[in-house]
Structure 1
Amino acid sequence: MKTNINHILATLFLVGIIATNCKKDEMNDLIEENGLSRDINDFIPQDILDILDSLDMPINTGGNPANIEGTFLMNPSILMSSNIETDIIGFEFNELLISFFEQNNDELTITTQYVEEDASQEGEGYGSFLVGEGNDFSVFAKNMTYDTFDNDSALNTIIFTGTIGEEGIEDLHVAVVMLNDFGDPNNQYIEIGDSRVLYDEDAISERTEEFKSIQKKMQQDISEEDSRRGMVESDKKKGREL
């Protein structure tokens, strides 16, 4: 009987290994030769990846990332590298709140939101893609910027790389890269390929619950700005009519 039990346990263990390997093979189908997913390679061209590499932006690869859901505070945010001539290395930016949710490891997708401390800038990735192995991860978020006042737009990516832990994200690096300025008719965007890489100077971006209150303030500021712009447009229209 003991032999039979051991045989059954060994069989179950073998089945478990086969099932795990099948799952891993299925996951690897999403990952291409450079270790990134097809979705990432579809919207990030190789020359942009080369720029990131030249700026020492760390990129984690692989198809089996840990759960990174939560909201994290990046502070202080320090400029580590840039290919923009006017940038000053070591400059300290506003603290950044970053929220990851709706992680789907079957598709290697995730939803990303971020907002600056003073709510002057916010964003939500309309397509965010996740790669990594274990606790090491990278998130590539598509961001389309719309300026309804000047009637133009730009496509950029924000990349988040780090190691998830109980207290937060360790060694968080954030890169912002312009992918397409659509001609930049009002000459207000950085050039295509221009990139900044920031890092958290104290090497830990703590978990926080502040995101909702910041979002509320951000929406109030946006409403006030929309009202102001509406008044300006109304004054312009009256001027044309006169």
Structure 2
Amino acid sequence: MKTKLFLFFVILCTLFVSCKPELEKPTIVTKFADNITNNSVTCGGEIISDGGADVTSRGFCLNISENPTFSNGFTVGCGTGLGNYEYEFTDLRENTRYYVRAYAANSEGISYGNELSFLTDINVILPIVTTLQVTEITPFTANCGGEISIEENSEIISRGVCWSTNPEPTINDNRTFDGNGNGRFVSELTDLEENTDYYVRAYAISKSRLNDNSDTLVSTIYGEVMNFKTQILSIDYAVPNEIYELVSLYFPIYDGVNPPNIEGEYVSSPHVLIYESYAENPETIQYHSDRYLGFQYTNNQMNFYGKQSDLEEIRYGVKITGEDDHFTCYYIDDGYPGGYYAQQSFIFSGKKTNEGLEDFHGAVILLETSGNPELFDKHSFRVFKDEDGLAENNNWMLIRSDINRHSDDDLFRMWLK
């Protein structure tokens, strides 16, 4: 009986030993090489199977040659056991091709995962952008600009200045487009509001080469913010000093802070041209279509409504000066005829009476042309008057919803050569 029990025990042990699985090396995957910069990368690996034995070491092998191993590469350890792990390599060389493999070790040996390669970026040094001082500030325009210095691996694809009434203007606000490349440039800010605080800074949009794969980085870089305030519109701006005396020979200009109330609707008829500074025969009186005018006070400001021929317009915030019954009112009109920025001032003067506007005169002055070759010279002007001396009261239903601003070409057509 003892012999039988012994034989049964031997057979059972033999069966147990023969059923034990054979140990293997770990199974591992190199999962990713991401977040690549000029000197770093993050790599990930995963131990799929430990091969039946504990994983005692795991990590990555890195080299600038293919098939990195313990013996020919830079090796880092990332703990033990199954699962996912990752490691950030630093202090790498820029613009260099690297090869990486995950590894895992157990009692049966070392296994390597699949190989991944990546190219580090070039060390991008972004351009230096400097905002220039704001100069030549008027009620509606100002000059600014910037200066840009760049490194060899960067290209300036757009530059200019951006501005806003908010303290941190961006290219999503108003901006100029002043070419490309490095160096200094000057920008003109237009369509500003009078007596208003603005913030402006230079910008550059750069395209930088990241590596030999032609990968690029597009960046917007800003200079420091400059603050300025536009001037208050005055008669000195509407009638520049250079031509003030000449204009006043034909056109009465009244100063003062107590002008009359001229609210109402009027018609200048016959409306005649008595002088134009650019004509060969400026003294010849020319008859023009009747000039309809309207003035209305709303929200503590005076608004102007006008109609002449097929041109109708409305302007808000018209300025008025004068004393007693005498007045001068004026406003600025601007636009981009032919793609060039331009400004003109409209001035009206007279004496308010019960019948209308006595001794009524008007002038139009070309304030700015930005070098437009199709327009007459800057500071060209024309003077008109009501020939019989009175712009009569006239209810012509001036305040209408269809009054609108015509195109820039219409608004500046009188100045075309």
Q: TM-score, normalised by structure 2?
A: 0.38
User: Partner amino acid for 1:210?
Assistant: W
- Report which of the two has the higher share of helix: 1
- More deviation, 122-131/63-72: 122-131
- Contact kept, 8 Å, 1:154 with 1:182, in 2: the verdict is yes
1:156 aligns to 2:340 (yes or no): no
In the alignment, the residues of structure 1 paired with residue 374 and residue 343 of structure 2 have an alpha-carbon distance, to the nearest angstrom, of 13
Shift in Å at residue 93 of structure 1? Answer: 0.9
In the alignment, the residues of structure 2 paired with residue 211 and residue 87 of structure 1 have an alpha-carbon distance, to the nearest angstrom, of 37
User: Partner amino acid for 2:329?
Assistant: V
Residues 103-142 of structure 1 deviation map (CA, whole Å, 9 limit, x = unaligned): 788xxx52222210x21x3444455211111111001211
Aligned to 1:58: 252
Residues 84-113 of structure 1 deviation map (CA, whole Å, 9 limit, x = unaligned): 2245521101111111112788xxx52222
1:111 aligns to 2:299 (yes or no): no
Structure 1 pair 100–78 and aligned structure 2 pair: CA distance change class (3 A): same
Structure 1 pair 80–158 and aligned structure 2 pair: CA distance change class (3 A): same
User: Partner amino acid for 2:259?
Assistant: P
Shift in Å at residue 79 of structure 1? Answer: 1.5
DSSP 3-state at the match of 1:202: coil
1:100 aligns to 2:286 (yes or no): no
In the alignment, the residues of structure 2 paired with residue 214 and residue 104 of structure 1 have an alpha-carbon distance, to the nearest angstrom, of 18
Specify which of 318, 333, 351 is matched with residue 128 of structure 1: 318
Shift in Å at residue 42 of structure 1? Answer: 4.6
Consecutive unaligned residues of structure 1, counting only runs of 5 or more, are 1-36, 226-242
Alignment of 1:54-93 (within 5 A): 55-86=249-280, 88=282, 89-93=284-288
In the alignment, the residues of structure 1 paired with residue 341 and residue 397 of structure 2 have an alpha-carbon distance, to the nearest angstrom, of 26
In the alignment, the residues of structure 1 paired with residue 394 and residue 291 of structure 2 have an alpha-carbon distance, to the nearest angstrom, of 11
1:203 aligns to 2:393 (yes or no): no
The percent identity for this pair of structures is 26
Shift in Å at residue 60 of structure 1? Answer: 1.3
Shift in Å at residue 214 of structure 1? Answer: 8.0
- More deviation, 123-132/87-96: 123-132
- Contact kept, 8 Å, 1:99 with 1:211, in 2: the verdict is no
1:194 aligns to 2:380 (yes or no): yes
Quote the RMSD (CA, aligned, Å). 3.0
- Report which of the two has the higher share of strand: 2
Aligned to 1:233: none
Structure 1 pair 83–192 and aligned structure 2 pair: CA distance change class (3 A): same
DSSP 3-state at the match of 2:251: coil
Shift in Å at residue 51 of structure 1? Answer: 3.0
Aligned to 2:330: 140
Alignment of 1:8-27 (within 5 A): none
> Which is greater in Rg?
2
Shift in Å at residue 48 of structure 1? Answer: 3.1
DSSP 3-state at the match of 1:212: coil
Aligned to 1:236: none
In the alignment, the residues of structure 2 paired with residue 212 and residue 136 of structure 1 have an alpha-carbon distance, to the nearest angstrom, of 23
User: Partner amino acid for 1:152?
Assistant: Y
In the alignment, the residues of structure 2 paired with residue 211 and residue 188 of structure 1 have an alpha-carbon distance, to the nearest angstrom, of 36
- Contact kept, 8 Å, 2:312 with 2:406, in 1: the verdict is no
Aligned to 2:85: none
| Higher normalized contact order (CA 8 Å, seq sep 6+, divided by chain length) | 1
In the alignment, the residues of structure 2 paired with residue 123 and residue 145 of structure 1 have an alpha-carbon distance, to the nearest angstrom, of 14
Residue correspondences, number: 176
Shift in Å at residue 191 of structure 1? Answer: 1.6
Aligned to 1:240: none
Aligned to 1:29: none
Residues 167-212 of structure 1 deviation map (CA, whole Å, 9 limit, x = unaligned): 211110001110001221xx33222111111110111111122143
- Contact kept, 8 Å, 1:60 with 1:161, in 2: the verdict is yes
